[in-house]
Chain A
Amino acid sequence: QKEVEQNSGPLSVPEGAIASLNCTYSDRVSQSFFWYRQYSGKSPELIMSIYSNGDKEDGRFTAQLNKASQYVSLLIRDSQPSDSATYLCAVTNQGGKLIFGQGTELSVKP
């Protein structure tokens, strides 16, 4: 069974701290990796995509991919209360369908 695993949390960090979210996947042929943010009752909103090993930075967000370890992470620098949400890791192969993890709930305390 192809799986994407995340710690469900909640992960609680103080405002201004770095939040670190982790994800592992089981299917070695996965090619594309995504982090979506989901507020309660809302749809997933794309934060970052990453396709090759290493780091990719976009503003306060950095995605890291290690295909050998089948591991993807998301760092959020200078965390804000508005970052409080559930963060979904998703992977896809050539077929295009997204396979989601169960999400990590992040709470940023003022």
Chain B
Amino acid sequence: EPEVTQTPSHQVTQMGQEVILRCVPISNHLYFYWYRQILGQKVEFLVSFYNNEISEKSEIFDDQFSVERPDGSNFTLKIRSTKLEDSAMYFCASMGTRGENTQYFGPGTRLTVL
């Protein structure tokens, strides 16, 4: 069964450093998302991406964040200068078509900012 994959599973970084989180969505999917979940809190939407551009972003997704689909398979989230409060699980999700309406989640990357 096709699945969303994410690397790395755990990333530890120093405050102020840049990190790139990588995702490989399900191969024929067209819509891509990033969510985050701070420990003990709800899953929060960050950004959606379709047709090589951002379709929607949340207030959390400020200038420190960017997304890219550099080739036909990878979908990345970059945090330019990490803060302590960026420590969270980051989930990538993908969806086939808007009509299908079901998002499938990757296993997540646990980001720890020291």
Contacts and interface: CB of A to CB of B under 8 A. Distances in A.
Interface in B42-60: 42-45, 48, 55-56, 58
Interface string B7-34: 0000000000000000000000001010
A92 B101 contact: yes
A97 B45 contact: yes
A43 interface: yes
**Which secondary structure characterizes the binding site on chain B?**
strand
How extensive is the interface on chain B, given as a class?
20 to 34
Contacts of A101: 42
Contacts of B55: 95-96
A42 B108 contact: yes
Q: Chain A: interface residue count, which band?
A: 20 to 34
B104 A46 contact: yes
Contacts of A36: 105
Contact of A100 (B43, B56, B102): B43
Contacts of A51: 101
A95 B56 CA distance: 8
Interface of A: 32, 34, 36, 42-46, 49, 51, 88, 90, 92, 94-103
5 contacts: A44-B43, A46-B103, A98-B35, A98-B45, A100-B44
